[in-house]
Amino acid sequence: MTPNELYDILYMNILADGGEHYNDDYYLNNPLDFFSELMEGCEDVEVCDGATKICLVPADGDFVFKINIVDECYRDYCEDEADNYTAAVSAGKDKYFLETRYFKTLNECGVCFAIYIQPKIEEISSEIDSDDEKSLVKSSWYDSPAAEDMSPAWVSNFIKEYGETEFNELLDFCDQCHINDLHSGNIGYVGGHPVIFDYAGYGDFISSWEDSSEC
């Protein structure tokens, strides 16, 4: 499945409904139900949700669609993530992130949402960490807000591949760009290399930060 093919499925299903059921109110108030029902006849597309985004994951595609969940702060987490990737490119840290970029906006029959696209993650990080791994990385990641939820096994693999200095520079970059919430469900591996694939930041910790000029 290509990105345009998945987009066409979304578009045609909304167009066929004419806005009677699939409308902006339903999308804003029940985003998981909205997209789960919208994709009900497409069994090879998995609909996943987190605190900030809906993800559409085609079984036979090499990409993921990300769609913002509108919260009380009206943050566009997908846009923030794309901006953070642009900042990572400028800082020379982009190889540690899966690229998130704007794809298209679907605006039909009273429904409007932006779609962002990202390469599919190959392996999500494991939460099983040995005492040796925790001991190895504790001094590096203990003081950084960005690393508060990181899997020590992932951190250990990162340091083994890129070195402790580079890891600390990555943490500095994440702190500058207000990237936190890097738990095992947001980090993983592509080609055996450690990567971060969900990096918009989240929670009261983000809103308490002052605006950063770097990102």
pLDDT digits (tens, 9 = 90+) for 144-153: 777 777 888 8
* Count of positions (residues) in the chain: 215
pLDDT, mean of residues 55-60: 95
As annotated, the residues of the chain forming the CATH 3.30.200 domain(s) are 3-119
In whole angstroms, give the CA distance from residue 146 to residue 173.
Answer: 9
Pick among 3.40.50, 3.30.70, 1.10.3470, 3.30.200: CATH of 3-119: 3.30.200
* Whole-number average pLDDT of the chain: 85
**pLDDT of 78 above 80:** yes
Name the residue among 81, 65, 8, 9 with its Cα closest to residue 38: 9
Please, is 195 exposed, middle or buried when counting C-beta atoms within 10 Å of its C-beta (0-12, 13-18, 19+)? Answer: buried
Over residues 104-156, the pLDDT tens digits come to: 999 988 888 999 999 999 877 765 555 555 555 555 555 677 777 788 888 88
Q: How many Cβ atoms sit within 10 Å of the Cβ of residue 167?
A: 22
pLDDT exceeding 90 applies to what percent of the chain? 50
**pLDDT of 198 above 60:** yes
In whole angstroms, give the CA distance from residue 89 to residue 109.
Answer: 37
Name the residue among 122, 119, 97, 100 with its Cα closest to residue 192: 122
| pLDDT value of position 208 | 44
Q: Sorting pLDDT into bands at 50, 70 and 90, what band is 87? A: very high
